[in-house]
Structure 1
Amino acid sequence: MLSDRQLVRNVVVVCAILILLYFAWLVVSVLLMVFASILLAVAFRGLATPVARFTHMPVRYAVFPVTIGLVGIIGMALYLFGSTIQTQMFELVENLPAAWAALEARFHLQSLSVDLLQQAEAAAPSSATIIATLQGVTSNVFEGLVGLFLVVVGGIYFAVDPELYHRLVLAFWPEEERDRVEASLKALGADLLAFLKAQFIAMVVVGLLTFIGLTIVGVPSAMALAIFACLAEFVPLIGPIVSAVPALLIALTMGMDAALWTLLVFVVVQQSESNVITPLLQQRMVALPPAITLFAVVVFGQLFGLLGIILATPLTVLTFSVIRNRPA
């Protein structure tokens, strides 16, 4: 039988936990950004270690050229991809009426076009709605850029002096628990690093296969599209679908046959990644069953939006690692 003092203490502890959980929910986007920074710091340290070994400089200083190189490569890739998509979209818009007219004549869809035009006119948004939508998009883009800047800068800070933050975390635990917590943190870091290495290899292989396939098909700007497919591979299930859309739109400017061949390229690349590359790489990372990955993307996407979708796999790896390395 609990005494009144023990009962009050238990109630206070439960209330404190609920308050902490509520506060964590309010700042969940910040916590996700912190996790993204830590993930980026693990990647920076992983790349900086061989650079430091080769150049004989401290790892903390090797982080800076690695960061500059990565940011430069990704920035150049996005610039090339953006200019490519802009050019091809203009070409697609110019060719789309003629292609639609040919499709109408072939399948006798003239009446369908009239119905679609009338429905489009009826559903056309007002100018106020358009302005509000543009304002929302602009605000979201600005918030996304600010968040990306904070994640990158935070990742650099974590990567330059991880021992400082390591000691800070350990300071929250009693002296007798610190050895166990430190061992758990090292195991978590090793699992995240193994995941990033395996993911990096998969991304590079997908990018190379996509580039080879699109080059054979003859799709313009195969390099930019392959780089985008490489980056999108980080997001499971959804990333490959998103990366295929611009390539298919560009291929449509070349004709239906080119679009079908392009679709076949992405199907073959993704099947190779799912059935050959990933099973081999899972030997070096926390093995995640495909069903778990699928529902993790859905759950984290519903809970945390776009950032949750992007971080769904590493968050799942973190969860599995915590369960696997929990003390007996």
Structure 2
Amino acid sequence: MTTDHIPAQAPAEEPTPALPFGKPGRPFGSSPFIFGFTAALGVLTAWLLVQALTATASMLVLIIVSLFLAIGLDPAVRWLQGHGLPRWAAISTVFAGVILLFAGFGLAIVPAVSEQAGQFVEQLPGYIQQLQNNPQVRDLDRRFGLLEHLQTYLTSGDLGKQVFGGLLGAAGIVVSAVFTALTVLILTLYFLASLRTVTRTTYRLIPRSRRERVQLLGDEIFNQVGGYVAGNLFISLIAGVTTFIFLAIAGVPYALPLAIIVAITDLIPMIGAGIGAAVAIMVSLFVSMPVAIATLIFFVVYQQIENYLIAPRVMKSTVNVPAAATIVAALIGGALLGVVGALLAIPVAAALHLILREVLLPRQDRH
């Protein structure tokens, strides 16, 4: 009686501390079926990924902004750590400063806007009386019944519906803005607390033969992003303080809120300074035309000083990007993601410039 020889089964690999779940098995063999199945699965995965990115685009923007802010705030945390604070205390201190900045902006802007709205409502009858005393308005009223139509419109229910709808829309915008700001703050806090763990895990995904060089390049990119944020905040602080001093001397009302608006909008590349200046000039028109002209001249002169003296000196040691690349990056980023894209464009350009200089160009020189 003969029996077929049955090969002995190989003993299972015992778990080790390095491989707690055992040694990985041999890879599957290649066949047309496996290749086709893998290709179809890859196409399906890519399609699902595109759909997921489209559906979550707004939240992804918030995540990217929060990560950008966390990387930008990390140098301040490391500086406090270097002066003896533990990391949790350094993160709490920096984050408390960010919250105080938001709170100070709200306390400076909201009362001024509320006061101006109240004054407008109180002075509205006087404005109507001035319109009635205007010869041109009286002539239009005599020919077209302008004031009668205006009175009918004001007393009808349509105005109330429009005002109510407008208030609901404004309230929705305010609630959405508050929710977005809270989401960004919370995500920034989480990213800032776990930034070291995230970076270490990311570096471990790189093959060991290239991990050290990638880590050096990544740390340099993080340093440049942090330097860009710190430098941009410093430039905006200079713009806000200078604007406050000028507006206070010129007698423009609400000098502090206007200076804060100028400082915040100055963070936006290319167009931010113009937005803040336009707001300040419009408010100065209520003082007098000479004051408005002086305010316009002040902002024109200050922008030249900031663009050609302050910004190059501050950014020279942090973000080494050619001026042409900065402008192109800001334009492309603004076209893709609006204000957020313009803010993120320059650090991204700095990272690409570093990779081009340290990786791509040396590789091309070797061939």
Does TM, scored on the shorter chain, surpass 0.5? yes
- The Cα offsets for residues 230-255 of structure 1, whole Å up to 9 and x where unpaired, read as 12211223432332344334323322
Give the superposed CA RMSD: 3.7
Deviation at 1:74, TM superposition (A): 3.0
Deviation at 1:132, TM superposition (A): 4.3
Secondary structure at the aligned position of 2:252 is classed as coil
Which amino acid in structure 1 is aligned with residue 115 of structure 2? T
Q: 2:277 aligned to 244, 250, 253, which one?
A: 244
- The Cα offsets for residues 116-135 of structure 1, whole Å up to 9 and x where unpaired, read as 9879969x976555544443
Deviation at 1:66, TM superposition (A): 2.1
More displaced stretch, 202-211 vs 234-243: 234-243
Change (3 A) 1:183 1:232: same
> Structure 2 matches for 1:132-281, cutoff 5 A?
132-170=165-203, 172-176=205-209, 178-281=211-314
Deviation at 1:223, TM superposition (A): 2.4
Larger RCO (CA under 8 A, 6+ residues apart) = 1
> Structure 2 matches for 1:1-328, cutoff 5 A?
9=38, 12-54=41-83, 56-91=84-119, 110=137, 128=161, 130-170=163-203, 172-176=205-209, 178-283=211-316, 284-287=318-321, 288-301=325-338, 309-322=339-352, 324-325=354-355, 327-328=359-360
Distance 2:158 2:205 in 1: 54
Structure 1 stretches lacking a partner, 5+ long:
302-308
Change (3 A) 1:133 1:110: closer
Task: Please tell me whether Structure 1 or Structure 2 has the larger radius of gyration of its CA atoms.
Answer: 2
More displaced stretch, 4-13 vs 69-78: 4-13
Which amino acid in structure 2 is aligned with residue 310 of structure 1? V
Partner of 2:364: none
Distance 1:186 1:18 in 2: 33
Distance 2:353 2:51 in 1: 23
- The answer (yes or no) to whether the contact 2:329–2:345 under 8 Å persists in 1 is no
Deviation at 1:193, TM superposition (A): 0.9
Which amino acid in structure 2 is aligned with residue 194 of structure 1? G
Partner of 1:305: none
Deviation at 1:196, TM superposition (A): 0.8
Distance 2:138 2:41 in 1: 70
Deviation at 1:76, TM superposition (A): 1.9
Distance 2:273 2:123 in 1: 26
Deviation at 1:197, TM superposition (A): 2.0
Identical residues among aligned pairs (%)? 20
Deviation at 1:280, TM superposition (A): 2.6
Which amino acid in structure 2 is aligned with residue 151 of structure 1? V
Secondary structure at the aligned position of 1:235 is classed as coil
Which amino acid in structure 1 is aligned with residue 106 of structure 2? L
Change (3 A) 1:6 1:237: same
- The Cα offsets for residues 6-32 of structure 1, whole Å up to 9 and x where unpaired, read as 676556545533432332232122222
Change (3 A) 1:46 1:324: closer
Which amino acid in structure 2 is aligned with residue 236 of structure 1? P
Which amino acid in structure 1 is aligned with residue 319 of structure 2? M
Distance 1:72 1:173 in 2: 39
Deviation at 1:85, TM superposition (A): 3.2
More displaced stretch, 56-65 vs 317-326: 317-326
Structure 2 stretches lacking a partner, 5+ long:
1-31, 361-367
- The Cα offsets for residues 121-156 of structure 1, whole Å up to 9 and x where unpaired, read as 69x976555544443433332232222112112212
- The answer (yes or no) to whether the contact 1:88–1:250 under 8 Å persists in 2 is no
Distance 2:206 2:303 in 1: 45
More displaced stretch, 220-229 vs 238-247: 238-247
- Count of residue pairs the alignment pairs up: 314
Secondary structure at the aligned position of 2:85 is classed as coil
Deviation at 1:194, TM superposition (A): 1.7
Deviation at 1:165, TM superposition (A): 1.5
- The Cα offsets for residues 26-64 of structure 1, whole Å up to 9 and x where unpaired, read as 21222221222222222332223333333x122332110
More displaced stretch, 108-117 vs 251-260: 108-117
Partner of 1:304: none
TM-score of the aligned structures, taking structure 1 as reference length: 0.78
- The answer (yes or no) to whether the contact 2:250–2:291 under 8 Å persists in 1 is yes
